[in-house]
Amino acid sequence: MSITIRPAGEQDIPAILTMVNRFAAQNVMLPRTEASVQQTLSDWLVATDAGDVVAGCGSLVPLTDTLVEIRSLATHEDYQGQGIGGLLVQALIDMAREQEYEQVCALTLRTSFFERLGFTVVDRWSISPKVWQACIYCPKFHRCDEVAVLMPLVEKPAKLETKPPAWNGLLRWDSWQPLKLAYQQRPDHHEE
């Protein structure tokens, strides 16, 4: 079967709504309205078969300047088990990279799916308070069973140690710089 991942268009909104709201009725994800999908259409991707039938969808929701969330990831029941969800997640990750986000996260009931794609489980409160703005509308808000997963998109350079490990921070004044240099140049001092 040939599957294409492409940006969602106006013609895809009814299929997106049908799919997402079917899962929302099962308390698996939050429902979406036509207006909400329309307003964020540029953030949606769809997976289509050879006949351009929508087989899956997903969207990116910016949470901060550096963090974006994958939301409304859904595969139509007729197409499940064919790797479409993984293709959509990879395309959404690529889209997040192109938009220069540093991290991508998701809230999920299927942690193993995301872990296979390179995400790690994190404390959901550590992601961002903005995630929870939408959560207050969820019927499961007070008994949430979703797990947060996170993937870094950029490698953080290792922090360079600019002071010796034993340096206590009390010697901060410029006048102490010669003493600091002398300490660093001692024969028994080793940089880690």
Smallest CA-to-CA distance from 134 within 61, 66, 73, 65 is with 61
Q: How many CB atoms lie within 10 A of CB 90?
A: 13
* Residue tagged 């998701």 (tokens): 106
pLDDT in tens, 57-83: 999 999 889 999 999 999 999 999 999
Q: What is the pLDDT of residue 27?
A: 80
Q: Cα 98 vs. chain centroid, distance in angstroms?
A: 14
pLDDT in tens, 31-55: 899 999 999 999 999 999 999 999 9
> Phi/psi zone of residue 101: left (φ > 0), alpha (ψ -120 to 50 degrees), beta?
beta
The whole-model pTM stands at 0.76
Fold classification of 4-152 (topology level): Aminopeptidase (3.40.630)
The tokens for 137 are 């509308």
Alpha carbon of 174 to those of 110, 178, 180: distances in Å? 55, 8, 10
Q: What is the pLDDT of residue 187?
A: 53
Q: What is the pLDDT of residue 73?
A: 96
Instruction: For residue 77, give the H/E element and its range.
Output: none
Q: What is the pLDDT of residue 29?
A: 84
Instruction: Return d(Cα 107, Cα 85) in angstroms, integer.
Output: 15
The tokens for 60 are 């990116």
Q: How many CB atoms lie within 10 A of CB 94?
A: 13
Q: What is the pLDDT of residue 108?
A: 87
Strands 147-152 and 120-122: antiparallel
Q: What is the pLDDT of residue 177?
A: 46
- Transcribe 120-147 into DSSP letters: EEE-GGGT-TTHHHHHTTSTTGGG---E
Q: What is the pLDDT of residue 175?
A: 45
Domain boundaries, the chain: 4-152
Task: Flag residues of the chain having pLDDT under 50.
Answer: 161-184, 189-192
